[in-house]
Amino acid sequence: MNPIIMPAMPAHVNDQATVLRGLVSDKKGFGGLKDRMAGMKSISILSGKGGVGKSNVAVNLALALAESGLKVAILDADLGLANIDILFGVIPKFNLGHVLRGDKDLSEILFKVGERVSIIPGGAGLRELADLDDQRQSWIISRLSFLNDETDVLLLDTSAGIHKNVLAFAMSSDFSIIITTPEPTAIRDSYSVLKSLCQATDGNINIGLVVNMAVDEKEAFMVAERIISAGEQFLDFRIPYFGCIIWDSAIRESVKRRKPLLLGNAESISAPYFRKLAKTIFDPSCDPQASDKKGKLDTFLLRLARKIGDKEKR
């Protein structure tokens, strides 16, 4: 039987591996990660289809970032199937809609699930944001802007697919992550998300790829290469490969227990991969336009309101 010959690792993967080794050896753990951040960063988590573990990645990525000392808020932006609260085993009473209607301040709906991690239940409030006039939007932004001082990273767990609101979240964020699995349907749908974003932005989008539920790193890399190659050939866009999460039965058990993996089984097989992903995301070389980003919540909300509003008018 002929041996399986793996394709050569692209240069950017080798570069990231070098960076990761340096971060791991740094006595500060994340290599002074917080010192490198300029204001709050907004990150959208995307997927082409459901069932690829997108919300699990969002939750454990938040916890991995919190381990480094960063303060993280997760906005549950899945308008149809919000489930971040379920994964944490909590039941928030209020959501962003209560803030938009003036019933609650953001401080009252911000639900702490850890020392440095909070949930912002989105609910219907994200749809309502697009319907506000400029004066009302400014008022809401003033209410939400306190997160600039309270949060280092805002993660948005979006709906699966290429709904107009998902694209709006991605285009409004500082950068986005597409989650796929080795399943052929997941790969195809992930490419569809990438294609839609490239077409909507003329390729001016900061985005990375993560392969979840891979048997091993070789399988993950081969999956990533398929999407990267398709993007280069048909979209003239090379999506960076941010890494993988190895399949781990402990993740499935954590969902059943309603306790995230990094809270209940921090030494599992997949746990180091979430930490590597956190480090890779905040490697400055992964975001070539990072120095041009303001990294502020009000900027994100203005972009989001305009993007959703533009879509509604079409």
Chain centroid to CA 62: how far?
9
Q: Which two tokens stand for residue 2?
A: 């002929």
User: Quick one: DSSP state of residue 105?
Assistant: -
> How many whole angstroms separate alpha carbon 102 and alpha carbon 84?
24
> How many whole angstroms separate alpha carbon 42 and alpha carbon 312?
23
Distances (CA, A) of 170 to 69, 164, 201, 237: 25, 10, 10, 16
User: CB of 268 within 8 A of CB of 248?
Assistant: yes
Q: Which two tokens stand for residue 187?
A: 């790969």
> How many whole angstroms separate alpha carbon 221 and alpha carbon 206?
20
φ/ψ region of 147 (left if φ > 0, alpha if ψ in -120 to 50, else beta) reads: alpha
> How many whole angstroms separate alpha carbon 255 and alpha carbon 294?
35
User: Quick one: DSSP state of residue 53?
Assistant: -
> How many whole angstroms separate alpha carbon 257 and alpha carbon 77?
23
> How many whole angstroms separate alpha carbon 276 and alpha carbon 295?
22
The one-digit pLDDT tens for each residue of the chain (314 residues) are 333 333 343 343 333 333 333 323 333 333 334 443 456 788 999 999 999 999 999 999 999 999 989 999 998 887 666 789 999 999 999 987 788 778 888 888 899 998 899 998 877 666 666 566 666 666 666 666 777 778 899 999 988 998 887 888 898 888 999 999 999 999 999 999 999 999 999 999 999 999 999 999 999 999 999 999 999 999 999 999 999 999 999 999 999 999 999 998 878 999 999 999 999 987 655 443 433 444 455 567 666 666 666 655 55
Residues in the chain: 314
Architecture of domain 39-179+250-313: 3-Layer(aba) Sandwich (3.40)
